[in-house]
Structure 1
Amino acid sequence: MSQYSHVKYTTSPTPSVVSGYSGASRLTSHLPPPVNHRKDCLSATTKSYKYLRRLLKFNQMDFEFALWQMIYLLIAPQKVYRNFNYRKQTKSQFARDDPAFLVLLIVCLCVTSLGFAYVLGLRFLQSIGFIFYVIGVDCLLAGVIIASFFWAITNRFLRTNSLEPDIEWGYAFDVHLNAFFPPLMLLHCIQLFFYNWLISHTWFISRFLGNTFWLLGMSYYVYITFLGYNCIPHLKNTRLILIALPIIFLLYLVVTIIGWNATISFVNFYKYRVY
């Protein structure tokens, strides 16, 4: 018999290795699932309640990041929507959970509306009523209607299949707010510097400049709206939104040729609402 016959070989791991594997197994079993696959995601009502509750808690808002978004909506809107995708991966929602952007947008509306009221020659109380009308109707009420329309259309017709998650209404409203900001700067701010001494006249250059401002503002709104839905991977045929662009350009040519100044009509409509 060989001198090594009493030695027994085994291929089983050592106790320390076994304990290590079991510990890793227990650790893995206690890890939370990826955020996109959790079943305990907050409901839409809960998300809305948390969002509205933070509206008056200014110390919890990230105004610096909201200001960054506003700047990039003017110069590179694609970068803004990359952040929405990051939020979906980390917080399981596309919609903003920080109302800082909405607060800054309302501040911008107040400031630009005061400038508009000055151009219109409104008195103090008329100016206050004008500001509330612009915020409540032109921005928020119109936003609710437009967001509800796109929310219904995208969920009904643009999802690749019915098993994909619904588009959040809050995200549709965020897309409206994003798309609303650049036209606000063009039509309620920059345009005012040209109104009294140029756009308000009956010259061709007056209506050309006034209508061009509207062309840029409406085109910007459509393009940023398109970017908002195009960045969602499970939506199809989002380029249909861009069909509005040639229609807007055709209307621009028609109204300019027939001698209609959209800016003057817009200002007269505002005067009619406040007087």
Structure 2
Amino acid sequence: MSARAVTATVTLVGFVGILVLPTAAEAAQQHDRPVVVAHRGGSGYAPENTLQAIDKADKLGFDWVENDVQRTKDGRLVVIHDTHLARTTNVEQVFPGRAPYNVRDFTAAEIAKLDAGRWKGAKFTGARIPTLTQYLDRVDHNHQKLLMEIKAPELYPGIEKDVLRLLGKEDWLNRDHVRNRLVIQSFSAASVRTVHERRPDITTGFLGTPAKGDLPRYARFADLINPSNGTISAGYVAAVHAFRGPHGKRLKLFTWTVNDAATARRVAGLGVDGIISNVPDVVRKAVGGGE
């Protein structure tokens, strides 16, 4: 057999994908240590999705951070996980009577008044929910890389366009960022597809565990398949790796959210390409892991 990969066209559920038999070099590469991503920043140690969490990940020595992006009532992009503000801020004290405290019901100026750190500990009092612009500036300052989730896009029609516009304004769509420092993901296949169609050069990821038979369809617009750690097996990881994504490269799999050494060793043994963790240092100690 030649050193080049052997490919075969596979038709499943009405979609055509490319099944890839790896070369020896590619097969060996699959067993490299997984990339370790700091989930919502160093969220095990600092308030999630805040600038403090990015800095904590940086101090721990991690290049890759993950975040969640939503849109305010007045159209600003902010970084927060929950679609409501109550769990991680003092919104009920600052704005009583405005339940259910949805992010989309508050302006950026109102959200900027909220304390997003005190819930994690008194030393974090005064931490704020950052705008996406503030977040990108800090990631750039730290020379880090970003796994960005578009959160609940069904609540924010057109958010993909807004995200791409802001990324361009902040010079995050230049060659270096797009090739080496940015991945955009979502639980919504439609949202991921929209990003890919608007900017096919950007690396994209789908959050979830598609059926193996559906992988050819996802491989048309997603470079990564990112499932929960409890839903995967060695067979599933191999099935993902058997296809090439929209950029002609082998699909990768990053799994979440792994916060203990035993689970880290288990998923690393399955051959995952990345592990997303609130406590990335715990994962790194257990399995090694890049970045």
TM-score range, shorter chain: under 0.3
For the pair shown, the structure with the greater C-alpha radius of gyration is: 1
- TM-score, L = length of structure 1: 0.22
Task: Between the two structures, name the one with larger relative contact order (CA 8 Å, sep ≥ 6).
Answer: 2
- TM-score, L = length of structure 2: 0.21
Structure in which a larger fraction of residues adopt strand: 2
